[in-house]
Amino acid sequence: MIPADLHQRVGQWMSGVGPDSDVVISSRVRLARNAAGCRFMARAGADERRDLAARFAAALAAVEPPLDYLDLESLSPVDRHVLAERHLISREHADAEGPRGVALSADESVSVMVNEEDHLRMQVLRGGLDLGAAWERAAALDDAVQGRVPYAFDETYGYLTACPTNVGTGLRVSVMLHLPALAMTRELQRVFNAAAKIDFVVRGLYGEGTQGHGDFFQVSNQKSLGRSEREIINNLEVVIPKIVGYERKVRQDICAEHRRQVEDRIFRALGLLRSARLMTSEEALHLLSQLRLGALIGLVSDVDTPTLHRLFILSRPAHLQRLHGRELDEPERDAARADFLRRALGGA
């Protein structure tokens, strides 16, 4: 069972606070690991998977601070999607079959998927730009687990993983950026081109394509091989502040030069959120994104970013279904979403 009130709160990392959180939503460190002497997931049979899940569940329950292990096979599809919407498991992991699970810290800053693409996918999330702290927590967890379940490791290649792109450090480092001003002025492509040149890849909120929903973009490293963990993190710590500075500058510029247009967009977003009776996920994300910009540049005073961060997550389909205590079809969800957001934002 996932906690009964999970659909009413968000994890600490999504609380809207943290370094540079005007532009950086969150920082994420992910390590891919596999148990030594076991077949990778594509080849592992049901018994082997069950055995792996049990070994890792035991190991993860024993680390300090302890993690809660959830057996995904025993959760409803809605609850599994709640976890995916909270960025605690991948959508693939939610929809997969067979013995698999996730271990979570109470504040949701740590989540460890068991039997996803690799036997182990350890993730640490932090609010704002805070890769160093995320890395330290991930490294400590990595050491603690490795003491209990030895990893597949090669002296030449490093950590062995199911997909060659993860071999080596097994590390993926990413930050989630909110770039509404750059999106408004169509300057995003320059950011993406600059990121691509130094081997970073830019994707949307849930990893889909490069078209960010609601102006949210993930920037992550492309290569995990041939560089040390510290190097990978350092590279991102050099690049991200430049993007942050660029977004901040454009926010100032548009407020100075196109104030009416910016106000129009933001107050229209607020007006729609406070009045619509049907709203898709995509539209909600887009409008909340505009409102987040409005709150940060001081145009909208009665909504703060922690509230908006909560609404980003709680208005997603599975969260709404949990709020209503039953499965909802798409028109029902669109109605439930509009009602939820309207009330949360003081609409009529």
89 within 8 A of 102, measured Cβ to Cβ: yes
Residues 6+ apart with CB under 8 A from 1: 75, 79
Residue closer to a copy of itself, measured from CB, 277 or 326: 277
- Could you identify the residue written with the tokens 């919407």? 85
Nearest distance from residue 258's CB to a copy of itself, in Å?
10
H or E element, residue 32: strand 24-33
Nearest distance from residue 329's CB to a copy of itself, in Å?
13
- Candidates 212, 247, 282, 296; CA nearest to 16 is 296
Name residues contacting a copy of itself, limited to 204-263 (CB under 8 A). Answer: 260-261, 263
Residue closer to a copy of itself, measured from CB, 30 or 342: 342
Name residues contacting a copy of itself, limited to 67-96 (CB under 8 A). Answer: none
Nearest distance from residue 332's CB to a copy of itself, in Å?
10
Residue closer to a copy of itself, measured from CB, 225 or 335: 335
Give the separation between CA 141 and CA 302, rounded to whole angstroms.
40
Q: HEC profile for 41-105?
A: CCCCCHHHHHHHHHHHHHHHHHCCCCCEEEEHHHCCHHHHHHHHHCCCCCHHHHHCCCCCEEEEC
Nearest distance from residue 299's CB to a copy of itself, in Å?
10
Name residues contacting a copy of itself, limited to 324-343 (CB under 8 A). Answer: 331, 335, 338
Residue closer to a copy of itself, measured from CB, 148 or 259: 259
- Candidates 297, 296, 290, 298; CA nearest to 341 is 290
Nearest distance from residue 287's CB to a copy of itself, in Å?
11
Nearest distance from residue 180's CB to a copy of itself, in Å?
17
Per-residue binding letters, 266-305, with a copy of itself (x by CB under 8 A): -xx-xxx-xxxxx---------------------------
Tokens of 47: 């018994």
Task: Name the amino acid, one letter, at 80.
Answer: R
Binding site for a copy of itself (CB under 8 A): 260-261, 263-264, 267-268, 270-272, 274-278, 331, 335, 338, 347-348
